[in-house]
Structure 1
């Protein structure tokens, strides 16, 4: 005879282990003499003197539908409200049943990246122009420096004319 134990401190009373039982005794308060059945994705739990199968998502990753943060499940039962097993992707939002593309957030990110790239390229152009001007002013210019200066100045002007709020903006080619 075997005692099949469950955790009676847990509200779902999940199966924990089994041990040989004495033939002439009754099972303890936290055990049944009926063998639990197992099924993928479920875990046996005691309910009213029987084993019932309860959803088991333990160790699976779910995602918070507000923050998109991943969380490892450490409990038995259904996935809790506010979480989904569907993995979020860049620039998405929860529509109540699935992740969908959030075009506003995507466009805001593109515009922010455009502005950052424009600033980086302008800083680079300013640095190149400054060095070339110094070389020319100090009579240290090499062949082609004046043409390089002219090309970098044209490039800088083209950069300043870029509308970074245009999500399809095309940046000019560096000289």
Structure 2
């Protein structure tokens, strides 16, 4: 049925549409006064049966309904990054996504499932080791500088000279740490 204006008041079954997506949101009866049209964002054309995980969308230009996939509210995962994506629009799921969550860090998608990415794990361990070494070196440098100044100005006590030697030894040992085997690193003990 398509709406026809009338000289008589009418009560019609209308199918309400969401203004932004034109999707079906419910039905109801509408009172139509004489010489007026349908209320905004509705049609008198009934939507088709709507299967699960779909939504009926009305095209006013064609005066026809279509069905679109509806995954809104679902959490999916980008198969390239493993990052969560929250579905907020009707339509099919984007390419390169899955509903399966990665099992943990350093995972990659093999086309069917998430698998451990040994290269990414080693790269992360190396970055962590580099950052840790940099922090340890900064601590050593921060301790060495004032002690070195005291020695150079002939103001150092015997305890300060011993501390300077211990921090310098620590810094040398740090510089010799092999970061290539990040998972097996034994860091030298920091001076007391």
Q: Tell me the TM-score normalised to structure 2 length.
A: 0.65
Closer/same/farther in 2, CA of residues 161 and 132 from structure 1, 3 Å limit: same
Counterpart pick for 1:96 among 102, 111, 116: 111
Q: Tell me the TM-score normalised to structure 1 length.
A: 0.70
Q: Residues 63 and 83 of structure 1 are in contact (CA less than 8 Å); yes or no, is this contact kept in structure 2?
A: yes
Q: Residues 4 and 15 of structure 1 are in contact (CA less than 8 Å); yes or no, is this contact kept in structure 2?
A: no
Q: Residues 6 and 45 of structure 1 are in contact (CA less than 8 Å); yes or no, is this contact kept in structure 2?
A: no
Q: Structure 1: which 5+ residue stretches go unaligned?
A: 8-12, 23-27, 47-52
Counterpart pick for 1:3 among 10, 13, 38: 13
Displacement of 1:44 in angstroms is: 5.6
CA deviations on 1:118-147 (whole Å, 9 max, x unpaired) are: 233223223322321211222322351122
Closer/same/farther in 2, CA of residues 81 and 6 from structure 1, 3 Å limit: farther
Q: Residues 4 and 33 of structure 1 are in contact (CA less than 8 Å); yes or no, is this contact kept in structure 2?
A: no
SS at match of 2:154: coil
The question of 1:125 aligning with 2:131 is answered no
The question of 1:17 aligning with 2:26 is answered yes
Displacement of 1:68 in angstroms is: 3.2
Q: Residues 77 and 97 of structure 2 are in contact (CA less than 8 Å); yes or no, is this contact kept in structure 1?
A: yes
Counterpart of 1:72? 86
